[in-house]
Amino acid sequence: MYKKAVLSLLAFCLASSSLVVNSQEKVRLGSPLSQEDLEGFDLIAAPDGSGFPAGSGTAQDGKAVYDINCAVCHGINGEGTTNNTVIVGGDIQSEGPPLRTVGSYWPYASTVFDFIRRAMPATAPKSLTDKQVYQVTAYVLFMNGIIQEEMELNADNLPTIKMPNADGFIDRSHIQ
């Protein structure tokens, strides 16, 4: 009995000491980055205004960029070429299944800029300049009747644009 107890105590001590050694020798191999390192890499543009680059653009100037890079899939007026490429029009309250587009569904203008900059055009993502992304974003918002054609979108005013369906979402992120 006594011998058994000593053995378990010994086993316990060995286990504890190995835990302590592990925690002291924690692997820490991350290389420190500066803000400069992150420029051009961190492309997340969020509703709080973070991540928007310098530059600006209007819908007037965006039409030419859109016609060349976007219309082949999204249609010359954003009417789409497939169910999944319609980006203009729709009414979330319509009878029957609603057409959900940038104008009728998307809750944040920041998402339009963020998505175009990182993922569009689908055949050559990240090929547009920041200025062109501002221009195309402005044109898509203009086609949806959300901004005026001559509005100069930039890092300051773009995140403040209120989208028609901004209040249409129920946040369920607390259910985890």
Does 28 bind other proteins (CB under 8 A)? Our answer is yes
Token pair of 24, please? Answer: 């002291």
Rank residues 24 and 84 by Cβ distance to other proteins and give the closer one.
Answer: 84
Could you tell me which residues come within 8 angstroms of residue 65 by beta carbon, excluding any fewer than 6 positions away?
A: 128, 132, 135, 136, 139
Q: Name the one range near other proteins by CB under 8 A: 55-63, 105-113, 134-142, 146-154.
A: 105-113
Could you tell me which residues come within 8 angstroms of residue 71 by beta carbon, excluding any fewer than 6 positions away?
A: none
Does 40 bind other proteins (CB under 8 A)? Our answer is no
Residue of the chain from 2, 31, 40, 54 that contacts other proteins (CB under 8 A): 31
- 153 bridge partner residues: 57
| Spatial separation of the C-alpha atoms in residues 4 and 2, rounded to whole Å | 5
Binding residues vs other proteins (CB under 8 A): 22, 27-35, 37-38, 41-44, 46-48, 50, 73, 81-82, 84-85, 92-93, 97-98, 100, 102, 105-108, 110-111, 114-115, 118-119, 122-123, 125-126, 168-173, 175-176
